[in-house]
A and B are shown apart, each in its own frame.
Chain A
Amino acid sequence: MTIQFNDETFRDDYTFFNSPVAIARFPFPFDKDDYMYSVNMEPHETGPEGTPFDVRFDVDEHYVSEMRDRAITLDEDPLRCQSLPHMELAGWDLLELIMVSKAADYPDLFTLNRDGDRWHWINKPLGIEQRFTFGDPTTLPYGPMEYITRQAQGDFAVLDQREDNLWMDAGMVTSQADWSLDFDIGMNFFEWHAPVPKAHEMGVFQRALKFLMHVNQDTPARRLNWTMTVNPRLDTSPENYHKWGPEKRTITPENVGQKQYLRVELQTFWRLPRSNALAFPIRCYLINLEDLTSVPKWGRRLHRVLRDLPDELADYKGFAVNRPVIVEYLSKFDDGAPTSAGIYPDETDVALNKVPARV
């Protein structure tokens, strides 16, 4: 089955939508009825067929429109894509990883032909054809990291590993949950995580860093993170907070089902072969409460998670002001019945077998 790409927007008139297929395969992040930070990491490329978990870099119906949104953001603010001088090799590593993966996982959409360092890349959904010399930046219209991440959904941080730490020395960040690459670039793992409440005290970051430093080329890993966003907006950056901030206060009991989104980040971790850097793609998935509650298990569970979430986390994630309205809305979908373990819908909900397998 080929993917039908949506023509939609993530700003202004917000025409973004999820098809029934996108809803059924949504990466719901809660495997139980409560939530607290933990070192929630597992091997990547493992997961039921058709879900975002069984491919290296998931491509879905939002691909083309997300790339258009990224281009708009970059035109307005080129500092969303930065790479410190020593990171160029890692940029080539990342370009290779993404091209090779996309061409193998979606052969009907992407083609990569390689003849030594003479490469030929075809991206059908975006209508791009490029011949270039691998390793020679003058043969591409942008630096290697920018070139490939203008063609890959999700944000990307590229981390240099040295002095027993990871350093955020490059990135493409246009769909972030309220953090600034321009401010954080050059920081180490503990510095850029400094604003997160509780997790430092719990030892989460110390253990997570140890895990990450040992990720190698054969063991890519992943974790899910989440927050709440009003309107299907990708660019919830601090840079533009004064522009999207007022929208946060437009939630009412009448519109909350349609305007309030659960924002899920599928974060993966990749060791890069030449540079020994770590690539950290942060893929963002959005679903509004109306669509989410069409899966009864998810409606029940999200109600319980958000109702019981510690205040510090609701504050940090920025939805404390809207929490009462959200929880009230969701309570109508919670009959108190027990929920099954794991993140997937129950057989009796929408079934994953409605998700078409990739070909």
Chain B
Amino acid sequence: MTRVTFSPSILSRPVYAPLESHGAGPTIMLCDAEGAAAILDLAERDPAVMDYAHVIYIPSGSDYTVRMRALEARQYHEAPSYDAITARYRKALADATMGTRLYLAGTEGLIGKAAAEALAAGLPAQAIQAEHRGSIARRMQCVHCKGVTEDVTTDPFTCSHCGLTLFVRDHFSRRLGAFQGVCVDAETPGEVPERQEILP
């Protein structure tokens, strides 16, 4: 299943909806893994949306490359990782004009990082749409050392920077594009609950 129904949560947690076409107009489309399927669905609903699209696809093991190329976007780029496209993506944001729209699709980690980058670049929040597909792994900021751990799938988890065991909160910062991780055994050092797979 690439579509996930998330359980109701607190108000800072982003909610995702299917991408909605605003028709032909300048767009940046950034997707990873199963997120490509959301772009394909969007293009099927309204092919005109591809006419001015700059599409960046990070397959991370998924295989939509043939179908993505066939969309014949104005610009199409495949990349091995988010880090590899950061400079390209920033340039695209810097070159964005007044009406440029950003479509993000895929994991919450990609959506979180890419939306934060876009907001920092001055793109208005209303110009950004995001559809979640695929893994429910989270991008977590450690509130203690401030390091970000990508692709967190268990609660609690180990901060990849400072090594503290953190629990997974639903509190989300759009500026950081990350959820908050807080030391789980702060009051009783060493008493760590069993790791569970996180739920949607």
Contact = CB atoms under 8 A, between A and B. Distances in A.
Interface of A: 79, 180, 182-187, 190-195, 200, 238-242, 245-246, 248-249, 321
Interface residues of B, number: 23
What are the nearest 9 A-B pairs in CB distance?
A245-B186, A194-B12, A186-B175, A194-B10, A245-B187, A194-B11, A242-B183, A191-B12, A242-B186
Contact of A249 (B12, B144, B188): B188
B115 interface: no
B175 A180 contact: no
Given A186-B174, A242-B164, A249-B188, A194 B13 contact: yes
A241 B144 CA distance: 8
Contact of B182 (A193, A241, A321): A241
B12 A182 contact: no
B143 A183 contact: yes
B144 A187 contact: no
A29 B170 CA distance: 30
B173 A187 contact: yes
Contact of A200 (B11, B171, B187): B11
Contact of A239 (B12, B13, B143, B170): B143
Nearest to B13: A194
Contact of B187 (A182, A240, A246): A246
Contacts of A187: 12, 173-175
B187 A248 contact: yes
Nearest to B162: A242
A192 B13 CA distance: 11
Interface string B1-41: 00000000011110000000000000000000000000000
Give the interface centre of B11, B188, B189 by most chain A CB atoms within 10 Å.
B11
9 contacts: A79-B146, A180-B143, A186-B173, A187-B12, A190-B12, A195-B171, A242-B144, A245-B186, A249-B187
Contacts of A193: 11
Contacts of B10: 194-195
B11 A246 contact: no
Contacts of A200: 11
A322 to B, nearest CB: 11
B151 to A, nearest CB: 20
A238 B13 contact: no
A151 to B, nearest CB: 27
A321 B188 CA distance: 12
B124 to A, nearest CB: 10
A246 B183 CA distance: 12
A269 to B, nearest CB: 21
Interface string B161-187: 000100001110111100010110011
Given A194-B10, A194-B13, A183 B187 contact: no
Given A190-B11, A249-B188, A183 B144 contact: no
Interface in B94-152: 141, 143-144, 146
Nearest to A182: B146
B183 A183 contact: no
Nearest to B119: A186
Contacts of B183: 241-242, 245
Contacts of A240: 144
A246 B11 CA distance: 30
A245 B134 CA distance: 37
A267 B173 CA distance: 24
